[in-house]
Structure 1
Amino acid sequence: MTLLRREVLRGAAMAGLGAMLPPAARAAAAATMPGALDAVAPELRPAAEKIQAMIAAMPPITQAYRTMRSGPIPPPATDIPYTEQHIPGAAGQPPVTVYVINARAGTRRPAILHTHGGGYIVGSARGSIAPCQDIARQLDCVVVTVDYRLAPETTYIGSVADNHAALLWLHAHAADLGVDPARIALLGESAGGGHAALLALMARDRRSVPLCAQVLIYPMLDDRTGSTRTVPPFIGRIGWDAPANVFGWTSFLGHPAGASDVPAAGVPARITDLSGLPPTFIGVGSVDLFVDEDVDYARRLIAAAVPTELVVTPGAFHGFDAVAPETGLAKRFTAAKIAALRRAFGGDGVVA
């Protein structure tokens, strides 16, 4: 149980698995656990059961999110170097902390600008170092992961500015980092996937940095999910759920989620023009709260002539790859992600 607890907390930092139900709803969830698991793939059910048991013992996310920010993080690997850098923020904004992983001056390797998950309210770049090191090892690339400011203390305006400042810095310092400026991709999980989508839109609109890909892992794209748009009852039952989603989006936007006057600039799904975006990979589980919005975003990208790959893993819940990485479903999902990045960087996509 100790190992699983650590993995769940890691998943919370990466993917926003810290959804906490109000006490009455938590009791109801415990009473209906068998039904909640019916749509989950059999090999993922042990992890799902433990996640739900942990969630039932914790306070609601509206109370717990600040405590979660100081939770344990996976220790970085020792074979892939990383440095902490403090870079200039956008005009009128504070400096931004980034972690630069696997840089090597004198080379021209591909790079990833990574934005971490956590429902826009938790998570950290420091907590993402270890998984980013693993990606850097597999692809022999540089990864810059951004410690953007969190909501509700900072709305989307500040955090998107932080991420764009980091992207500009990465591009401007490509030679120092050993990066090929023509091979920079965006990668993010959950809220980080939402941030990556917003960053790709900003880079397109400002013509700031050319991107070779955006890789969106169960991205958090639409504030209407769980607020004004309901999902089937078997979806979004494990981990990040509708009440948590409403709180996360309301915190991020500084405005009630689902309202008709939500600032569209903070919601990728509300952007009407998706043309001109880089080749896109979207991966999500079929019982993830975000499955409908992610499938719809992929459909709209395809309609806008953006080369798009969509992977929907049957019976997989939010963050399943982070908390059950040794399962066959998680391994195939991760392999598809790595293959998409390898193709974007000019490889054949074959995962060794």
Structure 2
Amino acid sequence: MTRQQRDTLDDLLRSIPRTPDPEPEAARLAFARGITRPAPDGVATRRTVLGGRPALELEPAGAADRGRLLYLHGGGYVIGSPDTHAGLVGELVRRAGIRATSLDYRLAPEHPFPAALDDGLAAYRALLDGGTDPAELVVAGDSAGGGLAISLLVAARAAGLPQPAAVAVLSPWTDLTLGGDSIRTLEAADPIFVAEDLADYAGHYLGDGDRAQPLASPLFADLTGLPPLLVQVGAHELLLDDAVRLAGRAGAGDVEVTLEVWPGVPHVFQHHYGRLDDADAALDRIAGFLTARLTAPQLAAR
């Protein structure tokens, strides 16, 4: 069924009307209507605050007492929220058996770079200051949130903070200069984006700022010292080369890195769990990767 599921999903995504660079608030509402799925049964949610920002805590039934995920949602730094990603994050923690905090970081253009990074770093610091052992902390994010997760860890290293046990990124946006060949070569294959979409998001986030600065485009950062990294990406997306080049650069920095390129699927295909077998398999692999690197004894026995 996988090929049929991929084709059906591709057709569905291509049927969605396009509105070039809509106003941010309109884009946020449209994204929320199109992508939001509730947390799955058995995953409790509650509003909280982390590092001075609103956040959503997700806890699966029977979660281990130890082990925590900090999640950074995608949306080009302009759209998205913990609510739009409650289903995705809930499915991930249900499989991993750990709690997650999904951060509502500030969005551009109202809050351009480095607001999202500052919020992410503040949340990470708050977890550590609150007693979370970094060996029992993992970080993940999708799309812009995947790039933000890498930038966060680079900033944490510069601040003298310990690294988490592992990091997983889904279709990460790591090069805001749009320098990857796949930005051009895969435009016909990508059912979601055209290059202008990414350029618009980058403009909202950075304005006239340097798009190659390492904390905005972590592809250009020194990744030495980062924790084990899992990178998942679809073969039918403009950001394929962002993911592949990130993995190569991490490997060159002696980071333990696993790159998974999933055939025939689009950007952040994991959102389509329950109707795309690849999405369910990918979430299982992320959960296994993260929990295998946590030291919590309850998790080690899973």
The reply to whether TM is greater than 0.5 is: yes
Give 1:246 deviation, angstroms. 0.7
The question of whether the paired residues in 1 share the 8 Å contact of 2:174 and 2:218 is answered with yes
Normalised by the size of structure 2, how large is the TM-score? Answer: 0.86
Residue 194 of structure 1: CA displacement?
A: 0.9
Between the aligned partners of 2:98 and 2:292, the Cα distance in structure 1 is: 13
Asked whether the 8 Å contact 1:44–1:316 carries over to 2, the reply is yes
From the superposition, tell whether residues 96 and 153 of structure 1 become closer, same or farther in structure 2 (CA, over 3 Å): same
Structure 1 gaps of 5+ residues are 1-39, 89-94
Residues 322-346 of structure 1: per-residue CA shift (max 9 Å, x gap): 1364333223322221221122225
Moved more, 95-104 or 287-296: 95-104
The answer as to 2:21 corresponding to 1:68 is: no
% identical aligned pairs: 23
SS of residue paired to 2:139: strand
Q: Which residue of 2 aligns with 1:329?
A: 278
What is the CA deviation profile of residues 44-73 of structure 1, one whole-angstrom value per residue up to 9, with x for unaligned ones?
11111121111xx3422x115422323333
Aligned-partner Cα distance in 2 for 1:102–1:326: 23
Q: How does 1:18-57 map to 2 (within 5 A)?
A: 42-54=4-16, 57=17
**Secondary structure in 2 aligned to 1:145?**
strand
Question: What letter is aligned with 1:75?
Answer: P
Aligned residue number for residue 15 of structure 1: none
Following superposition, the deviation at residue 180 of structure 1 comes to 4.4
For residues 328 and 79 of structure 1, what CA distance do their matches in structure 2 show? 21
Q: Distance in 2 between matches of 1:225 and 1:147?
A: 26
CA offsets, 1:265-308, max 9 Å, x none?
Answer: 3111122x211111100000112111112111101111111000
Q: How does 1:1-352 map to 2 (within 5 A)?
A: 42-54=4-16, 57-60=17-20, 62-70=21-29, 71-72=32-33, 73-77=36-40, 79-88=42-51, 95-102=52-59, 108-174=65-131, 180-225=133-178, 230-233=183-186, 237-255=190-208, 262-271=212-221, 273-323=222-272, 325-346=274-295
Provide the residue aligned with 1:11 in structure 2: none
**Aligned residues between the structures:** 293
1:6 — aligned with what? none
Partner deviation per Cα, 1:55-112 (whole Å, 9 max, x = no partner): xx3422x115422323333234453333212344xxxxxx3111222299xx741111
Change (3 A) 1:51 1:215: same
Supply the distance in 1 between the matched residues of 2:94 and 2:280 (Cα, whole angstroms). Answer: 16
Q: Confirm or deny: 8 A CA contact 1:226 1:242 kept in the other structure.
A: no
What amino acid does structure 2 have at the position aligned with 1:132?
V
3-state SS, counterpart of residue 84 of structure 1? strand
Call closer, same or farther: CA 1:137–1:332 in 2, change over 3 Å.
closer
Give 1:170 shift: 1.6
Residue 269 of structure 1 aligns with an amino acid whose one-letter code is: L
Letter in 2 for 1:344: R
Greater Cα offset, 193-202 or 317-326: 317-326
**Superposition TM-score, scaled by structure 1 size:** 0.75
Cα RMSD between the aligned structures?
A: 2.9
Compute the displacement of 1:126 (Å): 2.2
Gap change, CA 1:274 and 1:67, over 3 Å in 2: same
Deviation per CA, 1:127-185: give whole Å up to 9, x if none. Answer: 223332222222221201100011111112111011111111122224xxxx5442111
- Residue 234 of structure 1: CA displacement? 5.1
Are the aligned partners of 1:255 and 1:262 in contact in 2 as well (CA < 8 Å)? no
Contact 2:134–2:165 (CA<8 Å) still a contact in 1?
no
